[in-house]
Structure formats: structure tokens, C-alpha cells
A and B are shown apart, each in its own frame.
Chain A
């Protein structure tokens, strides 16, 4: 369970911010590619976490 703590934390953060994010995403005045921006951000975060984890492993 310990190793899944960051995951739990991430889910909690997502839950807290999901209404805001969702509203921002589907705001008709915004660009149509807003969901993709969030998606890209998630990928960047995953990439950073993965790099740090690999450094830890070494």
C-alpha cells in the first residue's frame, strides 16, 4: 500500500480539481483542443516522474 501513496494522492487531487478542470475544458469560448493540453500535461508529469524514479533506482 505504501508504494501506492502517490497514486492515492494524485487521485485525490484529481477529484478535488476535476469540476474546475472540466468546466475549463468544456467552456465554449475556449479552444477546441483544451482537453489535449491537459492530456499533454499529464504525459509530461508522467515523464518527469518516470525519469526521477529511474534515477532513484540507479
Chain B
């Protein structure tokens, strides 16, 4: 059966255009997100692992190695089965540090640009045979379809077949350039790759079903056929007993993680979190479906006496069976497999070449748009790789089977295995070990396998050695084991014998997943995002630097005015990550180290507490056992501090704020999120100055610092203590406690005021006592003088003296009353009817006809009683009512009313006078303070009221104006306990 070349070419191009369409539709958002972001799409896209070799070549492998061929799937399947353990740490590293390729990973881990260059070289050599393999598979199957099952021998000329292969390469290069050359996640590409995986797995399964049910007539018939041809069953079991099968398993395990395209898909594009879990069973299932048809197809080929090479049985079986549709399906399946692998390999190799060969050597950026430059570089590299692959394919001239080419590539990728395993599992491994080990292993591979492939030589003659060393693919098993052994031995020995640098050790610890205890708080000498931009523009050019800084600020939700050291450190890290994505981890860290270097800390252990905390919060669910317990303990202590009803903050040695609890938030009004990681000097006033000057001072306490908050004066006491870090030589951080003592201060002031009143009272009592005696003397003498003298003038003088002494006596009497002379002790208090007291006072006042006449109104009920001294309570009301009367206009009303609040009785005396001026309110209870005319009042009345009420366990307060509408009147509220005695005793 043959097909017209035009038909096949048309079908191939149509299929490739379909892939274009899917990628384009995805990028334009025409395919729903539910499909694009579904874990199955991602898992199918991983199917690029199964290249044209696993569509065709693996049949040949099954022929040669029996069940050993399954190692190809089992090795990879096992790796994905344990993805949460093996791949997840790598994917996490890749995500956090924007590691895009295997070379990036090695550069990050071993802190050496040289490793990046070397890894890229080795990878380039390794994938060339793989690229050639894909092209060869497509060209060969094209030839089979167009020339029949037994094509004419190949000629050494550039045939139509080569032209078709070239056209295929050109279309694929275009596809890759269009959908893969930007730096973002390749959504379109991934969906297209998922589709091609689906096509190839379906195609292979259909051919498998054709083999079992079409060729043999069912599973039972297949068993019968196998029992009739036992040599086929023997083929399954015999080879796996040899060592080569074990070597194969080793090679294929390495392939799964080291092959650039698989690394890219499994580690870099692994963005969907839930996919990491689904992958554990779904990808092995995909591989099972790919592996299931292998043996039936092989046997069907034997049964049909297929004349072509074993590797093309998947196409040969439907052709010999006589089914054009199934033949085309098989061809498209193979084409699909080759396409996916070619695109993915090219992309990852492009990134490697760009980041590890071109960017470190040539300087890009400056005044040109760096993004455009990089885009064009990537495009050129993609084209160059396709050309390289095609030329390599031409140079091989179809002399090697697909299996040979694939194993050749896989054995070289095996050389990366020691270096990769050490990334996660052996922090001791160092860069010298990797460089020497990888170089030696690759050299043995190059001489033993690659050189014979290119030059055709089959033995190495060493001067002085009689027998030549045999080379070539027949010895692949030995060469593989030798190269790997030498590689591992050199890696281990050199790593143990030499010391790694500090930076390398730091990276190694990060990679080993032990980084939680290590983030150091390194200082930057840059203080604003604008400064970042200005520094970076020296390397990237002004426009590029501005775009990068703006992007990083956006990603971190920071403002351009940010000045917090903590935030600026995050900004630097984000810039490094973004630049790594753009130009590779090596170049990015070089730029950042050159222009925005971290200052080496003076002391070793300044841990970045904020970073540790945020990471712990992020990884909380990952912690188990002791770590989880410790984290719970940490959270408990943290919450204790956070909810402490005292304002607490802690500061690093460099005055960076490390903690700011809730009470502190409430006291200062500065949210924790804003202040964490700030330098103390940058926080809002007055707190910056208050806490800053205290933290720099030597004193450990400062009492009652006065600060103005919201137009009110507050008093704050500060206390501090130093915190010793966990490391022995660590610097001392500070914990500072702020205490708002405003209320206490106000109470103290009130107490001082009361004390002053009391002392003035005591003074008055003393003065009264001392003045009383001489006054009595003067009074007697004046009376004598009056009675004994006949002179009218003298008698008038005596009368005036008597009048003045009488006035002095009244004042003294008031003073004596004020000084509590003769007051009852609380034990002697009797129940007093307040209504009667008020009536008595009113009665007394009504007798004074010469004063302003006002209406007194007593609204108290007769049931209101308190325990007290009735005479002194009458005195209280006399004083209050007389003051009210004096302040009232003629005919005004003075009302005494009462209300009850729980155990307190409030008696209010309200007048309709002019009220009390605000400036007098504070002093009105002071002794000798009066607003009356000289001679009218002593200024002791209200003081006495205050003293008597205090003695009764009560309190007095004043409202003025009592009538807010008219803004007039004053109200004196006397609060007396209903049972003062029980409370007082």
C-alpha cells in the first residue's frame, strides 16, 4: 500500500496547522480556562516525554530487551509516582527562584557560571542525536507511506524525503518561534502539546487493538499464537536477566529528570498545585497506556512478516493489514510524538544557550529595549537549533537506528544525575566535584559513543598500549557504566576533599530544604525604589530598569515611596527573580550583586525574623511531627505577645521593627502591616522620636513622657529590655513596652488638687483658732472702752471696732465650721430625712428679707433618707440655696429635686441665674475663691459644702449652664450613698 506524497504532505501540514490553531485559540482565550488549566491538560502535556522514539523505537527496544523495554516507562513512571517527594522540592525551588532549566538549577545550587556553560554544552551534545531521531522518524515514515513497505535503498543525494524533512523543520521552527519565544508561561503551547499527546496515545492504542483483534483475532488467539511460537515469549524474559536491562533502568530514570524538555515540563511549568498530586497516578497511567500495545504490535509485525525495521512496526502493521485509515492514524501519531518532543527540546535548549552562553558573554540592555533584544535572540536561537538538528540528521545519513540515537542521548543525560541528586540530597557536594565529574563522564561518553557515531571510528589507539580500546554502540553498556562510575567517583572524592565557598554552602542549604532557619537580615545601602531604578539603569538602561522596578513593586503591592528596609529587601529579591526569568539566574544575580549588593553584616546572626515568619505561615501545612509542635508553640507565644494588653514592640540591632502588637496598634494608630520591617526613624511622629530616642538611650525606663495625640495630651511611660538572640555571638535586639499612664496622671492631679483643698482647710482652722483668742481680747477691750468712756468720738470708734471684730468673728466662725471642728464621726451618723433638711434650709433663708426674693421649691419626697449629720447637711443646703438665690434674678425659681441611681441618691439644686463662667469652674470649690463683692462672701461656702459631702462619702459636681437652650442657670448635683455607713465601715 502506498500513498501519494501530496496526500501525506497535505495531511501532515493540516495536522501541524491544527496544532497552530489550538495554540493560537488558547492564547486568545477561545478555549475555556476549565480545559486549559485542568490538571489532565497539564499531565497530557507531560506526554512530550514520549517522543517519536517511544512511538516507534521502543518496539525495537522491546525486540532487543524484552520486558527490559518497559524500564523506559517504569523509570519515568516511578519518578512521577513519587513526585511529591522527588519533583515537588525541585518544582518549589524552581518556582521560588525562577529556575527555568537544568543548567539554571545547577548554577543556583553550585553558585558557578562555569557549570551553566558546561551543562549547556553537554546538553547540546546530548540532544543533537535526539533531535536527529525525531526528524529521521518523520522522514522514514513518510518514505514508508509513499514508497511502500519495502522502499528502495537510500541514495547519497538530497532527495524529496530530505526536502520534506526540511519543510517539516521549517514549519515547526515557525510554530516554536510564534508560541514559545516569549518568556511567560506557554499556555498555548502546553495545550497544543497536550493535544498531541492525546493523539499519539490514542493512535498507539488503536494500533495495539488492531494488532490484538485485527491481526490475531482476540486475546485468546494471541495466547494460542504465543504458545505456538514460544520463542517470542522467550524474547520477553531472557534479555532482562542480563545487566544491560539494569543499566537501561538507570538510564531511563535519569532521562525523566535530566532531559531538558522533561525538566521544563515537570518542574518549570508545574504551576497547578493540585496537578502535583494528580500527577502521581495519572502520568503513570498515561505511560501504561503507551506501553500496553508494545508487545502485541511487535508480535503482529512478526505474524505479518513485516519487511521493514522492527522500529517501524507501528506503521507497518496497519499498512500490511491493508487499512489506509489506520496507517494514516499511525503516521499522524508518530508525527505528533516527534513534533511535541522537537518543540519542547528546542525551547529548553534555547533558554539554556541564551542564559548560559550568550548573556554572560555579550552585554545586552543599555539604551535599547532589552525585551525586544531577548525576543529576537530567542527566535534566532530557535531557528539555529532546528538548523543544527537538521544538519546533524543529514550528517548521520540514516545509518543508525532510532534506539541507538535515543540511548546515545539518554546516556549523556545520565551524567547529570549525580549533580541533580546532590541538589536535594547531598549538601556536601560542591562545584569542583560536579565540574570534574560531569566533564569526565561526558568525555568518556563523547569518545566512546559520540565520536564513533560522527566519524565512524571503532577503536581508540593509545600510544604505548598494545591492544586498542574498542568503541561504538556495541559497547554502550560498558561505556555507560564506566562513564557514570568515573563521574560519581570524581564527584564524591573531590567534594569530600575540597571545601565549598560560603555562598555555595548557603545555596546548598536552601536546596536541601533546610533554609527556614537561615534567612539572614542583610543590609542594603539603597533606601528607595527610585534608587534601585537608578542603579539598575547602569546595566539595563533607563527604560528597562524603570519597567522592571515598577513590575516588582506591583507584584509585591508596594508603593514607590516605600522606605522600609524589609520591603526593600523583598523588592531586591523580587527583582532578582524577575531578571532570572528574563536572562537566567547567573546573569541576574551578577547584575544584582554588582549594582545592588547586600552589605556584609557585621555580626553573623541577624536572622530575618519577618521573612522566617512569613515563610512559616506559608508552609504551616507542610510541617509534621516535632516541627509542627514547635510551630504551634511558636504561634502560641506569638499570640500571647500579640494579644498582650500592653503595647509591645521589638527592634533589631539596626532599629528595624520586628514586632508590633495589637495594643501597640491601638495606642499608636499605626497598623502592624505598615510598620513591620520599617526603620524606627521612618514611622509616624511623635512615635518615631519618642521610641527612637528611648531605644538609643542607656536608661531602661522613662516615665510619663508627654505627647500630643489628637489635640489631647497623653502621658506615656516606656520600659525596655534587651533580647539575646539564639546564637551565642548574636547581637542584642530590644523589646520595648509602652504604657499609657494618662488616666493615672489625671487621677494623680485630682488627688493633688484635693490635697491642696484639705491643706488650705487645715490652715484655715489653725488661723481661725489663733485669730479667735486675740479677737475676743480686742472685742472685750472695745466693749470696756465703750462703757467706760463718755467721749462720743471714742464710743463711736469703739462701736466701729466692735463691728469690725464682729465681722472677723463671723469669718472665723465660718473658718471653724469649714475646718470640721466638732464634726461627727461616721459611727455617730443618724438617719436623716433630706426633705426636712431642705425645708429647714429654705425656711432659714426666707427669713433674710434684705436679700433677693426668689421662689424656693422643694420636690424631694419624704421617703428619701441618708445616714449623716443633719445639722451639717442643713448647712450644705443653706450654702447652696443662698448661692443660688444670690445668683438668681428677682422672682427667679430655685428648685431642689432628687433622683436615684442604684445605691446613689442625687440631689440637684438648680437656679435660673447667669450660670458659672467656664474659667471659674475649676476653682469654684477652692477655699477663699469668690466672685462676690468684697465683704459679701468669704469664699468658704462651697468649700465647706465640698468637705461635708466628702465626709458623708458623697460627691459633688456642677453643671453650667443648667439650661443649654437659654444658656443660663447652674446645677449642683450632690451624690450621696443611700447607706453610707455600711460602705464606710
Contact = CB atoms under 8 A, between A and B. Distances in A.
On whether the two chains bind one another, the answer is yes
Contacts of B291: 36, 39
A34 B353 CA distance: 44
Contacts of A57: 621
B284 A43 contact: yes
B372 to A, nearest CB: 44
A40 B292 CA distance: 11
B81 A53 contact: no
A4 B288 contact: no
The DSSP consensus for interface residues of chain B is helix
8 contacts: A2-B626, A3-B85, A3-B622, A26-B67, A28-B230, A35-B70, A36-B291, A39-B74
A2 B621 CA distance: 14
A39 B67 contact: no
A50 B279 CA distance: 10
B237 interface: yes
B635 interface: no
Contacts of A20: none
A32 interface: yes
Given A36-B288, A39-B284, A43-B284, 5 more contacts: A7-B85, A28-B233, A36-B292, A39-B288, A44-B281
B667 interface: no
B285 A32 contact: no
B77 A39 contact: yes
Given A39-B77, A43-B285, A43-B288, A50 B625 contact: no
Contacts of A42: 81, 284
B630 interface: no
A50 B67 contact: no
A26 B77 CA distance: 20
A24 to B, nearest CB: 12
Contacts of A39: 74, 77, 284, 288, 291
A40 B74 CA distance: 12
Contact of B625 (A2, A49, A53): A2
Contacts of B288: 36, 39-40, 43
Interface residues of B, number: 31
Interface of A: 2-4, 7, 25-26, 28, 31-33, 35-36, 39-40, 42-44, 46-47, 49-50, 53-54, 57
Contacts of B280: 46, 49-50
Nearest to B625: A2
A50 B277 contact: yes
B67 to A, nearest CB: 6
B237 A47 contact: no
A10 B281 CA distance: 16
Nearest to A30: B233
Contacts of A31: 223
Contacts of A33: 292
Interface in B605-664: 621-622, 624-627
A9 B826 CA distance: 85
A55 B130 CA distance: 42
Nearest to B86: A7
Contacts of A2: 624-627
Q: Which 10 A-B pairs have the closest CB atoms?
A: A46-B281, A47-B281, A2-B625, A2-B624, A26-B237, A46-B280, A43-B281, A50-B277, A43-B285, A43-B284
Nearest to B284: A43
Nearest to A25: B67
B240 interface: yes
A54 B237 contact: no
A50 B277 CA distance: 6
Interface in B65-92: 67, 70, 74, 77, 81-82, 85
B752 interface: no
Contacts of B285: 43
A58 to B, nearest CB: 11
Contacts of B304: none
Contact of A32 (B74, B81, B82, B226): B226
Given A4-B85, A26-B240, A42-B81, A50 B292 contact: no
Contacts of B626: 2
Nearest to B288: A39
A27 B70 CA distance: 17
Contact of B624 (A3, A7, A43, A46): A3
Contact of B82 (A7, A26, A50, A54): A7
A53 B277 contact: yes
A31 B288 CA distance: 17
B236 A32 contact: yes
A39 B237 CA distance: 17
A31 B85 CA distance: 34
Q: Which residue of B70, B85, B277, B295 has the most chain A CB atoms within 10 A of its CB atom?
A: B277
Contacts of B70: 35
Interface string B215-252: 00000000100100010011011001000000000000
B516 to A, nearest CB: 14
Contacts of A46: 81, 280-281, 284
Contacts of B295: 32
Contacts of B278: 50
A13 to B, nearest CB: 14
Nearest to A4: B85
A44 to B, nearest CB: 8
Contacts of B67: 25-26, 35
Nearest to A11: B82
Interface in B273-317: 277-278, 280-281, 284-285, 288, 291-292, 295
B621 to A, nearest CB: 7
A31 B621 CA distance: 45
A33 B236 CA distance: 11
Nearest to A36: B292
A47 B74 CA distance: 17
B277 A54 contact: yes
A11 B195 CA distance: 35
A53 B624 CA distance: 14
Given A7-B85, A31-B223, A50 B237 contact: no
Q: Which residue of A32, A33, A40 has the most chain B CB atoms within 10 A of its CB atom?
A: A32
A42 B74 CA distance: 11
Nearest to B236: A32
Contacts of A4: 85
A3 to B, nearest CB: 5
Interface in B25-77: 67, 70, 74, 77
A26 B66 CA distance: 11
Contacts of B77: 39
A2 to B, nearest CB: 4
Contacts of B234: 28
Contacts of A36: 288, 291-292
Nearest to B70: A35
A55 to B, nearest CB: 12
Contacts of B237: 26, 28
Contacts of A44: 281
Contacts of A54: 277
A41 B721 CA distance: 62
A35 B285 CA distance: 14
A4 B240 CA distance: 31
Nearest to B278: A50
B233 A32 contact: yes
Contacts of B82: 7
A36 B287 CA distance: 11
A32 B81 CA distance: 24
Contacts of B223: 31
Contacts of A35: 67, 70
Contacts of B292: 33, 36
A31 to B, nearest CB: 7
